[in-house]
Amino acid sequence: MASLVDQLSEVVGGAHVLTEADMVAPYCRDWTGRWGGPAAGVVRPASTAEVGAVLETCRRNGTPIVVQGGNTGLVGGGVPASATAERPGRPPLILSTTRMRGLEPVDTTCWQVTAGAGVTLAAVQEAAGASGLAFGVDLAARGSATIGGMVATNAGGIHVLRYGAMRQQVVGVEAVLGDGRVVSRLDGLLKDNSGYDLSQLMVGSEGTLGIITAARLRLLPASPERAVALLGVASTAEAVRALAELREMTEGLDAAEIFYQDGLDLVCRHFHLPPPLNTAFPVYLLVECAGRVRVADALVDALGVMGVDEHSTAIGVEPSSAARLWAYRELHTDAVASLGVPHKLDVSVRVDMLAELEQAVRRSVRRVAPEATLVMWGHVGDGNLHVNVIGPPAGDDTVDVAVLELAVSLGGSISAEHGIGRAKLAQLALVRSDDERSAMRSIKRALDPAGVLNPGVLLPA
């Protein structure tokens, strides 16, 4: 019988089956460097039919598949399990969607676009912008993160408070299910109550139910005017209060982000940036308003009413000055990566509990990992803190468990936007009941009975 590589080469062409160690290696480790393991190889199909044929080949051979898009995920869901993890059976094949880059023309009547799974977020944003429209989700990994990966993780990002997460942008999905059936809802219907919404079932499924091959996405009118303000404040509680006031007084608030002096220092040091304000503050609130007219004036007026003084504020209206202010926030992930392999905890609580969460995380990390470096930032409007801890060995999850349990004890979630992946598999029971996890397993068995897709991601293998 022909080898797996020969069979796959038949399907996608030999050039798109990678088996040499140095070619395969970059696909085997995640962006953070914390997660990864060996793979049998990488296969790069270019169409839905090829994805179906690859899946069929793997099912016949009993080879598990790890689905990978841009490999910017932060919970280890798009890379193989580590060699030391319990991995019964053979190493998986990585199915990379990066050749599925078809982007249809923007539909300017329906304000929609159909994108192949491997199309990057930046490409969708660019295409929408060229048609006078915009896409509702934005995040710093825009140059690499793919639409398939963003749908599979229900990515959030910086505009959730105005436009929602990826789920809200998905009109329909095409996917090859684990058992080979194809679901395709790319017709662009805004109203369609004809049964279960299989597209939305794919959103947030982290590659465990099907391989997304394309998505029909909702677009928005572009906002020609944009204004950013960076406010230095005394505490997280004050940032939350300021945001509540701004929400009442401004229209078009589309981002509200928080970071702290230690994170800002790190960003400035690592990227050789001057501090944004003349005075240092414990906490920084970055807000952005976007719309058609008078956006900057309205934001400045609101800040005036709030009594914010110029020493504690920087305003960016021109695209370059707005981008300069955004950089202080967006460069946090890269700056932290320069310190070592981080433990990333992406937790959320109700917005009115955020200040308590922040303080409790500081106490908890000090207690369980006193030598560690702790850097936090997040999406304050969504009650979402990104807790990054550098110091403890990658395999030691003491600090992870402490922070996740803390978030749950405050009524929060162990995953605000990055997903469960492999990183938080053991903690899923903290937030999902026995009945819920059992229902999830039933869905998994119904769509992927052989358990070929992403075993050990989101649910135990």
Binding at 388: pick from ligand 2HG, ligand FAD, none (beta carbon under 5-8 Å per type): ligand 2HG
The alpha carbon torsion through 9, 52, 77, 41 (nearest 10 deg) reads -10
Binders of ligand FAD in range 52-71 (CB under 6 A)? 67-71
Among residues 406, 408, 369, the alpha carbon closest in space to that of 389 is found at: 369
Q: Can you tell me which of 120, 388, 415, 454 binds ligand 2HG, judged by CB under 6 A? A: 388
Report the first-to-last Cα separation within the chain, whole angstroms: 28
- Range in contact with ligand FAD (rule: CB under 6 A) among 107-115, 150-158, 360-368, 398-406: 150-158
Residue 333 contacts ligand 2HG per CB under 6 A: yes
Measured CA to CA, the distance from residue 123 to residue 116 in angstroms comes to 11
Q: Which residue do the tokens 């598999």 mark?
A: 425
Binders of ligand FAD in range 280-309 (CB under 6 A)? none
Binders of ligand FAD in range 86-105 (CB under 6 A)? 97
Residue 425 contacts ligand FAD per CB under 6 A: no
Residue 207 contacts ligand FAD per CB under 6 A: yes
Tokens describing residue 332 = 């946090």
Among residues 185, 184, 120, the alpha carbon closest in space to that of 147 is found at: 120
Q: Which residue do the tokens 């841009």 mark?
A: 70
Contact 124, 103 (CB under 8 A): yes
Q: Can you tell me which of 36, 37, 52, 77 binds ligand FAD, judged by CB under 6 A? A: 77
Tokens describing residue 71 = 């490999």
Q: Can you tell me which of 40, 103, 117, 240 binds ligand FAD, judged by CB under 6 A? A: 117
Tokens describing residue 62 = 């009993």
Binding at 461: pick from ligand 2HG, ligand FAD, none (beta carbon under 5-8 Å per type): none
Residue 72 contacts ligand 2HG per CB under 6 A: no
Binding at 386: pick from ligand 2HG, ligand FAD, none (beta carbon under 5-8 Å per type): ligand 2HG
If you count them, how many residues does the chain have?
461
Binding at 211: pick from ligand 2HG, ligand FAD, none (beta carbon under 5-8 Å per type): ligand FAD
Q: Least distance to ligand FAD from the beta carbon of 29, Å?
A: 12
Q: Quick one: 150 or 361, whose CB is closer to ligand FAD?
A: 150
Residue 344 contacts ligand 2HG per CB under 6 A: yes
Binders of ligand FAD in range 321-350 (CB under 6 A)? 333
Name the residue with the smallest CB distance to ligand FAD.
149
What character string, x for contact with ligand 2HG (CB under 6 A) and - otherwise, covers 357-386? Answer: -----------------------------x
Q: Can you tell me which of 150, 286, 349, 404 binds ligand FAD, judged by CB under 6 A? A: 150
Measured CA to CA, the distance from residue 168 to residue 163 in angstroms comes to 7
Among residues 93, 98, 24, 15, the alpha carbon closest in space to that of 60 is found at: 93
Q: Least distance to ligand FAD from the beta carbon of 30, Å?
A: 7
For CA atoms 2, 5, 6, 9, the dihedral sign is positive
Kindly state the DSSP code that residue 105 receives in the 8-state scheme. P
Binding at 424: pick from ligand 2HG, ligand FAD, none (beta carbon under 5-8 Å per type): none
3-state secondary structure of 180: coil
Residue 142 contacts ligand 2HG per CB under 6 A: no
Alpha helix positions (H), 250-331: 261-271, 295-305, 319-330
Measured CA to CA, the distance from residue 80 to residue 61 in angstroms comes to 18
What element of type H or E holds 42? strand 41-43
Strands (E), 164-302: 170-177, 182-184, 210-218, 220-221, 225-233, 253-260, 283-291
SS3 content of the chain, % helix, strand, coil (to 5): 40, 20, 40
Q: Quick one: 7 or 348, whose CB is closer to ligand 2HG?
A: 348
Q: Least distance to ligand 2HG from the beta carbon of 435, Å?
A: 30
Residue 57 contacts ligand 2HG per CB under 6 A: no
Compute how many other C-beta atoms are within 10 angstroms of the C-beta atom of residue 330: 20
Judged by the rule CB under 6 A, the positions of this chain that interact with ligand FAD are 31, 67-74, 77-78, 97, 117, 139-141, 145-146, 148-150, 152-153, 155-157, 206-207, 211-212, 333, 417-418, 421, 454, 457
Judged by the rule CB under 6 A, the positions of this chain that interact with ligand 2HG are 74, 140, 332-333, 344, 386, 388
